[in-house]
Amino acid sequence: MAKEIKTNKLLFNQFKEFDKFGLFTEVYQVPSYIKNNLKDTLRAYQEESLRYLHYAQSSPSASEQYNHLLFNMATGAGKTMVMAATILYMFKEQGYQNFIFFVHTDAIIQKTKENLLNTLSSKYLFTPSIEIDGEKIQIEAVETFPVTPNKNTIYLKLSTIHKIHDELNNYKENTVTYDDLKELPLVLLGDEAHHFNAETKAKGKAKNSSENEELTWERTIEKILALQLKNRLFEFTATINLDSKEIYQKYKDKIIYQYDLKQFMDDGYSKKVMLLEANQNDNEKMLDAVLLSQYRKLVAIDNNIIGFKPIILFKSNQIAISKAKQDDFIQIIDNLTPEKITTHLNNKKTQLSSVNSIWHKVITRYSQSDLIVIVEMIKDDFNEMNLLNVNKSDLMEEQPVLLNTLEEIDNPIRVVFAVAKVNEGWDVLNLYDIVRISEKASSTKANTDSEAQLIGRGARYYPFIYDSDKSYTRRFDKNNHELAILEQLHYHTINEPSYIKVLHASLKQADIDFNSDGNGIVYHAKLKDNFKKSKTYQYGKLYFNKVEEITSEQRSWSSYSLETHFEEEYKTANETSLSELSDTNLNGQYKLEPLKLDKRFINKAMAKQSFYSFNNLQYYFPKLKSMTEFIDKDSNYLGKIQIDIKLPSSLSVDDFTPKEKLQCLENVLSKVADNIRRNYRKYKGTYEFISQPLKNIIMDYSAYIDSSIAINQKITANSTIGKPWYVFDTAILNQLEHRLVELLDKFIVKLKEKYDDIYLIRNDEQSTRFKLTEFDGVRGFMPDFILLMKNKHEDAYYQVFLEPKGDDRLLGDKWKEDMLEAINEENIIFLDGDDNIRLIGIKFFADSRRNEFVKDFSNKLYDGKPLEDDLLIS
pLDDT digits (tens, 9 = 90+) for 268-288: 899 999 988 877 888 999 999
Please check the confidence at residue 576 and state whether its pLDDT lies above 50: no
Per-residue model confidence (pLDDT) at position 396: 41
Tell me the pLDDT tens digit for each residue of 378-387.
999 999 999 9
Give residues with Cβ within 8 angstroms of 183, minimum separation 6: none
List the alpha helices (DSSP H) in 2-132.
11-20, 32-35, 44-57, 62-65, 79-92, 106-116
List the alpha helices (DSSP H) in 382-423.
399-403
Tell me the pLDDT tens digit for each residue of 640-693.
788 888 888 888 888 888 888 888 888 888 778 877 776 676 677 899 999 999
Whether the domain at 11-259 and the domain at 272-518 fall into the same CATH topology:
yes
Where does the pLDDT of residue 578 fall: very low under 50, low under 70, confident under 90, or very high at 90 and above? very low
Give residues with Cβ within 8 angstroms of 207, minimum separation 6: 198, 215
The whole model's pTM is what?
A: 0.57
Please check the confidence at residue 408 and state whether its pLDDT lies above 60: yes
Per-residue model confidence (pLDDT) at position 64: 92
Mean per-residue pLDDT for 443-468? 82
Per-residue model confidence (pLDDT) at position 422: 58
Per-residue model confidence (pLDDT) at position 26: 74
SS3 181: helix
Mean per-residue pLDDT for 446-470? 84
CA pair distance 124, 132, nearest whole angstrom: 18
Distance of alpha carbon 703 from the chain centroid:
18
SS3 241: coil
Per-residue model confidence (pLDDT) at position 746: 93
Cβ atoms of 459 and 273 closer than 8 Å: yes
CATH architecture classification, 272-518: 3-Layer(aba) Sandwich (3.40)
Per-residue model confidence (pLDDT) at position 871: 44
Cβ atoms of 522 and 479 closer than 8 Å: yes
Tell me the pLDDT tens digit for each residue of 151-163.
899 999 999 888 8
Cβ atoms of 779 and 813 closer than 8 Å: no
Cβ atoms of 525 and 762 closer than 8 Å: yes
The one-letter amino acid at 683: Y
Cβ atoms of 185 and 62 closer than 8 Å: no
Please check the confidence at residue 203 and state whether its pLDDT lies above 70: no
Residue 98 neighbours by CB distance under 10 Å: 20
Which residues are paired to 565 by β-bridges? 642
Domain ranges of the chain: 11-259, 272-518, 553-677, 684-861
Cβ atoms of 12 and 53 closer than 8 Å: no
Please check the confidence at residue 13 and state whether its pLDDT lies above 80: yes
Please check the confidence at residue 588 and state whether its pLDDT lies above 60: no
Please tell me which residue, 795 or 259, carries the higher pLDDT value.
259
Give residues with Cβ within 8 angstroms of 177, minimum separation 6: 167, 168, 171
Please check the confidence at residue 207 and state whether its pLDDT lies above 90: no
The one-letter amino acid at 60: P
SS3 465: strand
- What is 11-259's CATH number? 3.40.50.300
Distance of alpha carbon 273 from the chain centroid:
12
Of the candidate ranges 660-674, 762-776, 814-828, the one whose mean pLDDT is the lowest: 762-776
CA pair distance 171, 746, nearest whole angstrom: 86
Which residues are paired to 685 by β-bridges? 547, 775
Q: How many residues does the chain have?
A: 874
Tell me the pLDDT tens digit for each residue of 218-253.
788 888 999 999 999 999 998 888 888 888 888 899
Give residues with Cβ within 8 angstroms of 790, minimum separation 6: 536, 755, 756, 757, 796, 797, 798
Cβ atoms of 326 and 417 closer than 8 Å: yes
CA angle, 115 then 120 then 124, to 5°: 20
Q: What is the CA radius of gyration of the chain?
A: 30
Tell me the pLDDT tens digit for each residue of 31-47.
889 998 999 889 989 99
Mean per-residue pLDDT for 460-486? 85
Residue 749 neighbours by CB distance under 10 Å: 10
For the chain, what percent of residues have pLDDT higher than 70? 86
DSSP at 849: G
Q: Which helix (H) or strand (E) holds 180?
A: helix 178-182
Please check the confidence at residue 21 and state whether its pLDDT lies above 60: yes
The CA distances from residue 215 to 195, 198, 223, 232, 246, in Å, are: 9, 5, 13, 20, 14
Please tell me which residue, 399 or 11, carries the higher pLDDT value.
11
Of the candidate ranges 114-118, 683-687, 751-755, 781-785, the one whose mean pLDDT is the lowest: 683-687
CA pair distance 66, 233, nearest whole angstrom: 9
Per-residue model confidence (pLDDT) at position 17: 87
DSSP at 460: B
Which residues are paired to 733 by β-bridges? 716
Please check the confidence at residue 572 and state whether its pLDDT lies above 70: no
List the alpha helices (DSSP H) in 637-780.
658-678, 735-754
Cβ atoms of 621 and 551 closer than 8 Å: no
CA pair distance 29, 842, nearest whole angstrom: 46
Per-residue model confidence (pLDDT) at position 394: 42
Where does the pLDDT of residue 713 fall: very low under 50, low under 70, confident under 90, or very high at 90 and above? low
Per-residue model confidence (pLDDT) at position 870: 55
List the alpha helices (DSSP H) in 698-804.
735-754
Per-residue model confidence (pLDDT) at position 467: 83
